[in-house]
Amino acid sequence: MPHTSKVLMAIVLTGVATSAVAQGRTFTRTFTCSALKALVAQTGTAVLASSELAYETVHRDSGACQQDETGAPAYAPTLDVPACFVGWRCKQHNSDAGPV
């Protein structure tokens, strides 16, 4: 295989691997509470999963939310704590004006 083809293949494989990691989920039950908090603090944003079907995006601080969202505390089950505070999740502002 010519040198140029090898370099091109390496670039393609790196892009595929990076894409797979970026879309990956971190399973909370495989971490201690302090390790999971540190992960979110280090990355700024992480997709945390407590099971194969239950996951959410968690941010280091509530300032990561959009203007039409508000930050809410995010808790996740870990190896050592059933409801570990790991950061902030964004949720839509309540548009319900209440009873009329």
**Considering the chain, what is the average pLDDT of its residues?**
80
Residue 47 CB coordination number (10 Å): 14
Q: Which contacts of 64-69 are long-range, i.e. CB under 8 A and separated by 24 or more positions?
A: 64/88, 64/90, 65/90, 66/90, 68/92, 68/93, 69/93
Please indicate, yes or no, if residue 12 is contained in any of the structural domains: no
Please indicate, yes or no, if residue 6 is contained in any of the structural domains: no
Structure tokens at 68: 């039409």
Query: Which range, 11-15, 72-76, 91-95, has the best average confidence (pLDDT)?
Result: 72-76
User: How many domains is the chain built from?
Assistant: 1
Residue listed under structure tokens 């295989």: 1
Please indicate, yes or no, if residue 51 is contained in any of the structural domains: yes
**Residues with Cβ < 8 Å from 81, sequence gap 6 or more?**
32, 33
Please indicate, yes or no, if residue 68 is contained in any of the structural domains: yes
Of 36, 32, 27, the closest CA to residue 79 belongs to 32
User: Could you read off the pLDDT of 32-71 as tens digits, one per residue?
Assistant: 999 999 999 999 999 999 988 999 999 999 888 988 899 9
Structural domain of 99: 25-100
Q: What is the CA radius of gyration of the chain?
A: 19
Say whether pTM exceeds 0.75.
Answer: no
